[in-house]
Amino acid sequence: MTTDRLIVVTGATGRQGGATARRLLAAGRPVRVLVRDTAAPAAKALEAAGAELVHGDFDDPASLPAALEGAAALFAVPPPVAFGPAGPDVEREFARGRALTDAAAAVGVEHVVFTGVASTPGRPGGSEGKKRIEDHLRERIRSVTVLRPVRFMSNYLGSTPMGLDGISGGVHRHVFPPDEPVQVIAVEDIAEFAALAFDQPDRFAGRSLELAGDAPTPAAAVAAINKVTGAAVRYEQITHAEAAALNPEIARVRERWAAGSRWHADIEVLRVIHPGLRTLTDWLAESGAALLRKRLLHTA
């Protein structure tokens, strides 16, 4: 694909879409970002960096074709799936992905890079909703590349509305055992793989890449965070009862993990494709430590 052809990025006010939009802009690519709120600070920051802003909403399919018109390629990040009392609303998630796919097909988008969720044994595509979107994309779009990232390194910076992930009160809580490796990825590396796919569509067309950059244990990860921030964070694995109280789907994830269901990105092969693939230590040195110090100081 020539570098002057327009790429539309969805989810650009979020982590994956934002990192990808910035990476493409830095390479001199024309970028249009599809956002629900063109006045949002993150959207205006991308506009200042050179992106074209356009309104679009996955829950309003009629808004999508005009937003995609003239684009040669699309970086597709479906919005977070809604959760109900019984878990994820798969039908709503798929309806959103289908609306975006159908709009892209209608206006002649040639190549879609779709970022979903890392697979585990018996769960190709990571979740039912994401897998259905992947399948629909392959039916409607000529050239599709699927990225399936594992847990983000930047999750340590997140808020914890359910008491899970992020760091709250000096504690990082999750479903994983403290001394077993857990694969992680920097969102900047997701952007690097997306850029490679757009640069070399023939090489990456039809491929699905499980993405990870490192696999520290949760205990080792918080030890690395403490070393570079001077904090005293500890890791705590939530119990099954705590997971069930948060959400049935979180309890199911904990059960699957305990039964041996693991992400399985081949990090060494990925590093051949992208030699700059970040470890957790790399991410901390590059930006994570400074952001964590600021967050930990703010929440102390």
133 touches 114 (CB < 8 A)? yes
Give the residue with greater pLDDT, 228 vs 80. Answer: 228
pLDDT averaged over every residue in the chain: 92
pLDDT over 70 (residue 2): no
Q: What is the pLDDT of residue 80?
A: 66
Q: What is the pLDDT of residue 54?
A: 97
Over range 18-23, report the average pLDDT. Answer: 98
Beta carbons within 8 Å of 277's beta carbon, 6+ residues apart = 189, 192, 213, 267, 270, 271
Phi first, then psi: what are they for 258, rounded to 5°?
-65, -30
Q: What is the pLDDT of residue 83?
A: 60
Q: How far apart are the first and last CA of the chain?
A: 48
Q: Which of 56-65, 109-118, 121-130, 136-145 has the lowest mean pLDDT?
A: 121-130
Confidence of residue 250 (pLDDT cuts 50, 70, 90): confident
Tell whether 95 is covered by a domain. yes
Confidence of residue 128 (pLDDT cuts 50, 70, 90): confident
- What is the per-residue pLDDT across 131-183, written as a single tens digit (0 to 9) for each? 999 999 999 999 999 999 999 999 999 865 567 889 988 999 999 999 999 99
Q: Which domain holds residue 65?
A: 7-150+187-211+262-277
Tell whether 90 is covered by a domain. yes
> What predicted TM-score, i.e. pTM, was given to this entire model?
0.94
Confidence of residue 41 (pLDDT cuts 50, 70, 90): very high
- What is the per-residue pLDDT across 71-105, written as a single tens digit (0 to 9) for each? 999 999 976 666 666 667 888 889 999 999 999 99
d(Cα 10, Cα 33) in Å, to the nearest integer? 6
Tell whether 228 is covered by a domain. no
Q: What is the pLDDT of residue 84?
A: 60
Q: What is the pLDDT of residue 85?
A: 60
CATH number at residue 16: 3.40.50.720
pLDDT over 60 (residue 1): no
Instruction: Give the number of domains in the chain.
Output: 1
Tell whether 239 is covered by a domain. no
The number of beta carbons lying within 10 Å of the beta carbon of residue 200 is 12
Q: What is the dihedral of CA 47, 51, 56, 57, to 10 degrees?
A: -80
Q: Which of 25-29, 107-111, 293-297 has the lowest mean pLDDT?
A: 293-297
Q: What is the pLDDT of residue 87?
A: 61
Tell whether 175 is covered by a domain. no
Tell whether 288 is covered by a domain. no
d(Cα 70, Cα 115) in Å, to the nearest integer? 22
Q: Which of 49-53, 100-104, 239-243, 245-249 has the lowest mean pLDDT?
A: 245-249
Q: What is the pLDDT of residue 86?
A: 61
Over range 276-286, report the average pLDDT. Answer: 98
103 touches 68 (CB < 8 A)? yes
Q: Which of 76-90, 266-280, 282-296 has the lowest mean pLDDT?
A: 76-90
Tell whether 91 is covered by a domain. yes
Tell whether 292 is covered by a domain. no
